[in-house]
Amino acid sequence: MPVGAADKALFDCVIIVDWSAASAPSPAKPSADAIWTCCADPMGEQTLYHRTRAQAEAYLRGQIMAAQARGARLLIGCDFPFAYPRGFAHALTGQASARAVWRYVQGRITDSDSNANNRFDVANHINARFGNGPFWGRPAGRDAPHLPARKTVDYTALPFAERRSIDRAIPSAQPVWKLYTTGSVGSQALMGLPMIARLAGMNGVSVWPFDESLTDVVLAEVYPSILAKAVARQLTQTGGIKDAVQVQLLARAMVHQPPDVWAQMTALPHPDCREEGWILGAGFGHLLEAAL
């Protein structure tokens, strides 16, 4: 059943995922800077902590199959970039397609059940192809001759920009090339895109805004900081772990949006979004916050 007509745009369930590129399992005690998910439907929410990416992916795969079995419409929103600035996909793969990049990354990233991974090696290899960037950031002492520790990249010398259109529209969004220290969404993307490729390969799963026709199960990029003020208020009032609070609030806000708002939010927002991706809900923060 396509999502797009006003009477079919409302999701029955929304899962928001706060992702992590950690290289080891997160602590047994629920902690910050780990993977958190919140599954919300009109009756309530369930917030979960996942110590590894393998555990989180297994959970999401199970939720997709369960939703399909009961005929429910499911949105899974992940807080990492699903694509790169226009021109990167073609320069890397010869195709101006986000899916081509997913396949490229999926074929090169290794990620064990204990979170051990080779993301810095993959970024170093990609940078070697371009001579100067685009990725930057690595641990001190890491042997990666083509991967600078700090941002020294001259993006004007590359056939693509530093930021996507959506990143320019949201100044607080970190650049997709940053791999290390606070806000290293580049690492999260390298460790998340293989999962998107696998989940998108399941029957009946589509990815917004890359697919022209959306199915009952939709994957999309989200940005929990769109509700930063609401998250800060709740943390002040009740405490807790920011990662957990922000997935809970965004899942709650999204699942309670009426069909006409969903029709607006899933409309194509920018000419480049089929290649670069977009953040679902960008520009609708006021409506999302009003639903809390």
Q: 70: which residues sit within 8 A by CB, 6+ positions away?
A: none
DSSP state of 11: -
C-alpha torsion sign, points 271, 277, 282, 284: positive
Q: Sign (positive/negative) of CA torsion 228, 232, 238, 241? A: positive
Reference 201, options 274, 102, 282; nearest CA is 102
Assigned token pair, 128 = 């070697």
Q: What confidence score (pLDDT) does residue 108 get?
A: 98
Residue-level pLDDT at 7: 43
Rounded CA separation 186/109 (Å): 13
Task: For residue 216, give every residue at least 6 positions away whose Cβ sits within 8 Å of its Cβ, in sequence order, or none.
Answer: 1, 3, 67, 68, 71, 72, 73, 74, 204
Per-residue model confidence as pLDDT tens for the chain (292 residues): 334 433 444 799 999 999 999 999 999 999 999 999 999 999 999 999 999 999 999 999 999 999 999 999 999 999 999 999 999 999 999 999 999 999 999 999 999 999 999 999 999 999 999 988 999 999 998 989 999 999 999 999 999 999 999 999 998 999 999 999 999 999 999 999 999 999 999 999 999 999 999 999 999 999 999 999 999 999 999 999 999 999 999 999 999 999 999 999 999 989 999 999 999 999 999 999 999 9
pLDDT at 221: 98
What's the CA gap between 128 and 144, in Å, rounded? 10
Q: How much is the pLDDT for 6?
A: 39
Give the strand pairing for 217-221 and 205-207. Answer: parallel
Burial class (CB in 10 A: 0-12, 13-18, 19+), 107: exposed
Q: Given this model, what pLDDT does residue 171 score?
A: 85
């005929």: which residue's tokens? 71
pLDDT at 10: 77
CB 133 within 8 A of CB 221: no
pLDDT for position 68 = 98
pLDDT at residue 132 in the model: 84
- Strand duo 35-41 + 44-50: pairing: antiparallel
193-204 burial by CB neighbour count: b if 16+ within 10 A, else e?
Answer: bbbbbebbeeee
Residue 3 is predicted with a pLDDT of 41
125 bridge partner residues:
none
| Residue 50, CA distances (Å) to 56, 128, 198, 203, 277 in order | 6, 34, 19, 25, 26
Q: Distance between CA atoms of 79 and 38, rounded to whole angstroms? A: 12
Enumerate the β-bridge partners of residue 103. Answer: none
Q: What's residue 133's pLDDT?
A: 94
- Residue 111: both structure tokens together: 């990620």
248 neighbors 33 (Cβ within 8 angstroms): no
